[in-house]
A = this chain, B = another copy of it.
């Protein structure tokens, strides 16, 4: 009856990883698993999550599964529609732009806060990051550039010492992955000029809070603009496809 799709579903993940996940509650483990599936795109925006099939696949009952989905819904990764089910959240370009702004504001706050935490050692570490990224960019080694860039940002965020800030920031980044135009998000993050990074670190070294906040803020705003342009180009393509052909 329901075999047409259940096969496909069963291939995505095998049951039995329970042992590993037993560290926390079942609900928590399933939540992490689902989160992973969503963020990696194995579950795509708009896709529906069938309660029974999913619980069978994880080898659990519907209770913990439902609890996990409500939690993910509250975190903005799933949509729960009454009597219809839960869907992977799909965020519009408009919403993505809003999230970029929030991210800019929080990243800007990170810059402002970091001015009070700056040490010579930290500056050395950051300059090290800059040099590595400069080198990778010159070699056009994008595969290594991307994770280094990520680590650089995570390092900055974490160095604020504010757990709340870290949480909030990552929540926003996660939600950005739910944009249908996910590729565009990555593209926006890649084409970063190292001049922006240098200005960020320099403003920290200068101990100028406002300058740092603005440098950090603008850095995110620029990737927002790149995303925006890519999204517009994308929309134009679709339009041509519909009109022309």
Binding site for B on A (CB under 8 A): 24-25, 27-28, 63, 66-68, 70-75, 80, 82-83, 95, 98-99, 101-102, 104-106, 108-109, 113, 162-165, 168, 210, 214
Contact = CB atoms under 8 A, between A and B. Distances in A.
A67 B70 CA distance: 6
Contact of A71 (B24, B70, B98): B70
A72 B109 CA distance: 26
Given A109-B104, A214-B210, A98 B165 contact: yes
Contacts of A66: 63, 67
Closest 10 CB pairs of A and B: A74-B74, A105-B109, A98-B164, A71-B74, A70-B71, A67-B70, A105-B105, A98-B162, A74-B75, A25-B82
Contacts of A106: 102, 105-106
Q: State the oligomeric state as a number of copies.
A: 2
A165 B101 contact: yes
A185 B243 CA distance: 57
20 contacts: A24-B82, A25-B83, A67-B67, A68-B70, A70-B70, A70-B71, A70-B74, A71-B71, A71-B73, A72-B74, A74-B74, A74-B75, A95-B163, A95-B164, A99-B164, A101-B162, A101-B165, A102-B168, A105-B106, A168-B168
